[in-house]
Chain A
Amino acid sequence: MFLTRKAEFSASHICAHPEWSEERNRAVYGANANPHGHGHNYVLEVTLEGEPDPVTGMVFDLRELKEILNQEVIDPMDHRFLNREVPPFDQVVPTTENLAIEIWRRVDERLRALPREQTAAKLANVRLYETADLFVDYGGPQCG
């Protein structure tokens, strides 16, 4: 069974590779490379997969998932300038693809740190909407 929890955050960013010329960055990223940045209202959907616990009937405690998303994503990223305030985006271009990969890394690390008797649920998908009409899905490093 899959469980999906949604969260929203707003942040600004610049998509530009620090080692590339302004011309090359503009060719690759277009207006996303504008030097003073711009922002999005990101919508995040995190999906966990697991069997419902026979006693609680839950795949995962939604309050705990909310807390993990708050600590790993919302608190550090909401109303922040990703390039300047949220590592590793001082080094890594904060495209929506790279943001999804980083969110997977952070959430997956928290889930793996939980004692096995507490949950067998695993992270299955990170969907990140940059706008209502554009989103990425990331299923973890093994999915490329």
Chain B
Amino acid sequence: MRLTARYRFSASHRLATPALSAEENRRIYGKCNNPYGHGHDYVLEVSVEGPVGPDGLLVSREQLDTLIAKNVLARIDHKDLNTDVAGFAGRVTTTENLAAVIRAQLLDNWTLAPRLAGLRISETPRNTFSWESSR
């Protein structure tokens, strides 16, 4: 059985890498390189997989919500990814890298019985990034 829950958070970021010149940054990242940053309403889908227990539940919704609130929402919601969020370690705050930061944070702090099976992050309704755990 697989259960997927959807969460929302809003954050600002600016795409820029010191490895490239100002001109190259503008060429590669376009508007996302604008100097004062910009923001998105991100949508995060967290999927867990495992057997259903005698209570008829794969996972306690409350425990899942608490884990996500503590490890994702409290760290990222209404923050600036470039300045406020640990884990990027010099990496550009693309949604690809954001997904990796969230995945690492969740795997390091995972306390639930079912396994983390996948993550899916929409930066806007048109751009979505997903990761599936290999079994």
Point out residues on A near B: beta carbons under 8 Å. 15, 17, 28-30, 92-98, 100-101, 132-139, 143-144
Interface string of B44-88 (1 = CB under 8 A from A): 000000111001111011100000000000000000000000000
Q: Verify B50–A97 contact, CB threshold 8 A.
A: no
C-alpha gap A15/B61 in the complex (Å): 13
Q: Verify A136–B60 contact, CB threshold 8 A.
A: no
- The answer to whether the Cβ of B20 comes within 8 Å of any Cβ in the partner chain is no
Interface string of B1-43 (1 = CB under 8 A from A): 1111111000000000000000000000000000000000000
Identity of the chain A residue whose Cβ is nearest the Cβ of B5 in the assembled complex? A134
Count the A-B residue pairs with Cβ separation under 8 angstroms: how many? 57
C-alpha gap A33/B6 in the complex (Å): 22
CB distance from B7 to the nearest CB of A (A): 8
Partner of A97, one of B1, B5, B7: B1
Q: Verify B5–A136 contact, CB threshold 8 A.
A: no
CB distance from B113 to the nearest CB of A (A): 13
Q: Verify A137–B1 contact, CB threshold 8 A.
A: yes
Q: Verify B6–A132 contact, CB threshold 8 A.
A: yes
Residues of A within 8 A of B7 (CB): 133
Residues of B within 8 A of A100 (CB): 1
CB distance from B6 to the nearest CB of A (A): 4
Q: Verify B2–A98 contact, CB threshold 8 A.
A: no
Residues of B within 8 A of A136 (CB): 1-4, 58
CB distance from A27 to the nearest CB of B (A): 9
Task: A28-B57, A134-B6, A143-B1 are known; give 11 further A-B pairs, CB within 8 A.
Answer: A30-B62, A93-B55, A93-B56, A95-B52, A95-B56, A97-B57, A134-B3, A134-B4, A137-B1, A137-B4, A144-B1
C-alpha gap A71/B68 in the complex (Å): 39
Residues of A within 8 A of B4 (CB): 134-137
C-alpha gap A93/B54 in the complex (Å): 9
Q: Which of B55, B60, B62 has the most CB of A within 10 A?
A: B55
Residues of A within 8 A of B50 (CB): 144
CB distance from A59 to the nearest CB of B (A): 23
C-alpha gap A93/B57 in the complex (Å): 9
C-alpha gap A93/B2 in the complex (Å): 18
Q: Verify B57–A95 contact, CB threshold 8 A.
A: yes
Residues of A within 8 A of B56 (CB): 15, 17, 92-95, 97-98
